[in-house]
Amino acid sequence: MNSLWPAARSSCLQTRTTLQTCRTIDSLVSRLAYGTVRPYSRPSIPFRQRELSSRKLDGEGCGWTGALGLQCSKRFYASKRRAPKIPRSSTLSNESPPKTGSQKAASPKVAPGKTIYTKYGQLPAEYEDQIGLDYREDPITEEESQAIFGGVMDVDSAEQFLRVIHGRRVAGTLPDPDEPSSLAYWEEVAQKSALAWLRKNVPIDEDENATLRAEHELAEMEGGIDEDPKKIGIYVPNVGGGLTRGGKINVNLYKSNDSKGPAQETKSVYGDSGLDAIRKANEAKFAAQEKKRQEELSQADEAPQNTGTLDHVKPRSRVELRRKGENPWLKYYEKKAQETAPEVVPELSAFTRLWPSTLVLLLTIGVSCTLAHFYIPPQRAARMFPEIPPAVATISTLLVANAVVLFLWRVPPAWQMLNKYFIIIPAYPRGLSMVGSVFSHQTFSHFLPNMAFLAIFGVQLHDEIGRANFLALYFSMGATASFASLAWWVWKRAFVSSTLGASGAVCGVMAAFLWNKKDNGVSFFGLTPEVPSWLVLGLLFGLEIFSWRRVSKLAKKQILDHQSHLTGYTAGVAGTEVIRWRERVRKRQAEERSRDIEGVMK
């Protein structure tokens, strides 16, 4: 709604009124009063509204100084910004503005040189809301101003106020009387007074003017809907006639860059904004990157076809490199390997996924412990390689087994078997993979560190606890670590994952070696002083937990199987304690047998 009264401010510019509320002219009346602004204090007792409505306000000097405390001046300081012009439309009345000759008597009090407009179709193109329109030949008098506004405005302000209100009557921009007013009380009273006087002395059809203006704005909106698509080139009007009405979509807009007739970019009447400049710069940057990427792709496509020497050296110098997956033989085994698991994750419960692996785990531990209990080391002459120490032979066999599986991962016919039994897939687990994954590595970077630690710590642990105990411990720890990793991912429902490798078993070997020497210290290759082995084991355990928590906190992709490593450390300590307990039981039984034999001999 148009503002017709001073807007309230929260502070003054003078120090003597800093703590009081003040009011400055900042609306239409400020543009009508021709006065300079000076701050003033609002009185502690509210101004009585009935004095304004009963026209009893009298000021000293001009009306503003007595009623509102404003100092009047003849200097006009209104804004020079022009209001939007209202173009003529063919849908409106074709009436032309009345001339100062023949139609002078039709308008009230028409003076030579002045034109009184009363209809919307006569509205001049240079009409501005701040200036308004003439409503009669002579300006308002002091007595008329007093009668209309009761001394609230001076004569010049009242004249301009009436011009603005009359212009809005003709332009059809008066506020809707049925809507609640947001104007201040003084502004609303002044507007009602001005409208009442103008309707009495300058009668016009305000409803018709408002209706014509609404129709004009609606026509402009409908015209804009058709014009905007034409400007940006996505709509082509059907100017040639035919059976269809309207137009059609400009399909050239959606063609590739090499198509002819692209849509022309229109320039905004408000100029290019900063966001438009940023958008254009980003589009240019993206286009350059896309062009560079296309060039690289085209060069990559040409590279396999142009390797070797130049074409003119030999007719058969063109070497074609076959891309991965293009060989029918390779594609066949790739498809067979992918058939080992369903394309869609099956809806299975955690128990259904884990019970086969649990059964294999228990069976592995039971068989390992049973064989270790009944195993009898062979005589030196009965061994296959008597010149090789038993520890080296055992560890070498494990290394060769891991190396064979590493090689098989590079043999396509073996992929189907490896995907079934040598890798753990939580989405579709298989029980035998609890043991097979302990010997499975797909890369040398994974294979070499595990085998290096196994060779360093495995040989020493083998010499201390024996072959049977070592193999039982190795298989049991590996299967337990694999099952712990599987159970963790099933519980987390992270089915788009897989795990493999001997890391869990190797961590168990390291933990068993350190825990077996917990009463003694360990030295690294004899180059460092002895350190308590339990301290080294605790450090490894803590580093593993820290690394796992760091990955979880940063929400990064987990590359290492921390669950398997931690389970391997724990299983190594537990397995060592079981072996120690068995040794103590065996010693006690041997002592009892020796005592029984001695008693019989006596």
What is the band of 479 on the pLDDT scale with cuts at 50, 70, 90?
Answer: very high
Does some domain include residue 87? yes
- Dihedral, CA of residue 175, residue 181, residue 186 and residue 188, to nearest 10: 30
Percent above pLDDT 90 for the chain: 20
pLDDT digit string, tens, across residues 213-260: 888 888 888 776 656 555 655 555 544 444 334 444 444 444 444 444
Are 353 and 209 contained in the same domain? Answer: no
Q: 108 pLDDT exceeds 70?
A: no
Cβ-in-10-Å burial (0-12, 13-18, 19+) of 183 comes to: middle
The answer on pLDDT for 75 being more than 60 is no
Enter the tokens of residue 156: 């010049």
Interval 482-487 mean pLDDT: 92
405: domain CATH number is 1.20.1540.10
Average pLDDT value for residue range 357-366:
94
For tokens 């991965």, name the residue.
324
- Of 90-104, 176-190, 194-208, 295-309, least confident by mean pLDDT is 90-104
Q: Return the closest-CA partner of residue 140 out of 202, 51, 50.
A: 202
Query: Given 181, 214, 247, which residue is the final one in a domain?
Result: 214
Percent of the chain with pLDDT over 70: 66
* Rounded mean pLDDT, 487-501: 86
370: Cα separation from own chain's centroid: 58
pLDDT for the residue 242: 40
Confidence band (pLDDT; 50, 70, 90) for 509? very high
- Taking the C-alpha atoms of residue 243 and residue 456, their distance in angstroms, rounded to an integer, is 90
Is residue 199 included in any domain, yes or no?
A: yes
Amino acid at 29: V
Indicate whether 391 pLDDT > 80: yes
pLDDT tens digits, residue range 422-477? 999 888 888 899 999 999 999 999 999 999 999 999 999 999 999 999 999 999 99
User: Where in the sequence is the domain holding 450, given as residue range(s)?
Assistant: 349-600
User: 103 lies in a domain?
Assistant: yes
Residue 272 — very low, low, confident or very high, per pLDDT cuts 50/70/90? Answer: low
Q: Which of 102-111, 142-151, 201-210, 317-326 has the lowest mean pLDDT?
A: 102-111
Decide if 432 is inside a domain: yes
> Going by DSSP bridges, is the β-strand pair 22-24/521-522 parallel, antiparallel, or unpaired?
unpaired
d(CA 204, CA 398): 108
In angstroms, the CA 599 to CA 595 distance is 6
In a domain, 129, yes or no: yes
Say whether pLDDT at 71 is over 60: no
pLDDT at 484: 92
Report the range out of 70-74, 155-159, 394-398 with the highest average pLDDT. 394-398
What's the pLDDT score for residue 182?
74
Residue 1 near residue 175, CB atoms below 8 Å: yes
Q: What is the mean pLDDT of residues 519-544?
A: 79
Sequence length of the chain is 602
The number of distinct structural domains making up the chain is 2
Q: Is the pLDDT of residue 402 over 50?
A: yes
Q: What is the mean pLDDT of residues 515-534?
A: 76
Query: Which of the 8 DSSP states describes residue 499?
Result: B
196, 345, 425, 428, 560 from 494: Cα distances, Å: 79, 11, 10, 12, 15
User: Sign (positive/negative) of CA torsion 595, 598, 600, 602?
Assistant: negative
From 131, 5, 134, 124, select the one nearest 80 (Cα to Cα). Answer: 131
Residues 366 and 511 in one domain: yes
Q: What is the pLDDT of residues 49-62, one digit of tens each?
A: 333 333 333 333 34
Question: Do 391 and 540 fall into the same domain?
Answer: yes
Task: Please state whether 34 falls in left (phi above 0), alpha (psi between -120 and 50) or beta.
Answer: left
Model confidence band, residue 587 (pLDDT cutoffs 50, 70, 90): confident
Q: Within a domain: residue 227?
A: no
Separation between Cα atoms, residue 565 and residue 395, nearest integer Å = 20
Can you tell me the distance from the alpha carbon of 549 to that of 545, in angstroms, rounded to the nearest whole number?
6
- Quick one: pLDDT at residue 11? 34
Q: For the segment 158-196, what is each residue's pLDDT rounded down to a tens digit? A: 888 888 998 898 888 888 777 777 777 777 888 888 889
Residue that is last in its domain, among 214, 229, 250: 214
Mean pLDDT of the chain: 72
pLDDT score for 528: 67
Give the end of a domain, one of 156, 179, 214: 214
Residue 56 to residue 65: CA distance in whole angstroms: 14
In a domain, 421, yes or no: yes
Strands 235-237, 521-522: parallel, antiparallel or unpaired by DSSP? unpaired
CB atoms within 10 A of CB 292: 10
DSSP 304: G
Q: Does residue 330 sit within a domain?
A: no
If DSSP states are collapsed to H, E and C, what string results for 330-398?
A: HHHHHHHHHCCCCCCCCCCCHHHHHHHHHHHHHHHHHHHHHHHHHCCCCCHHHCCCCCCCHHHHHHHHH
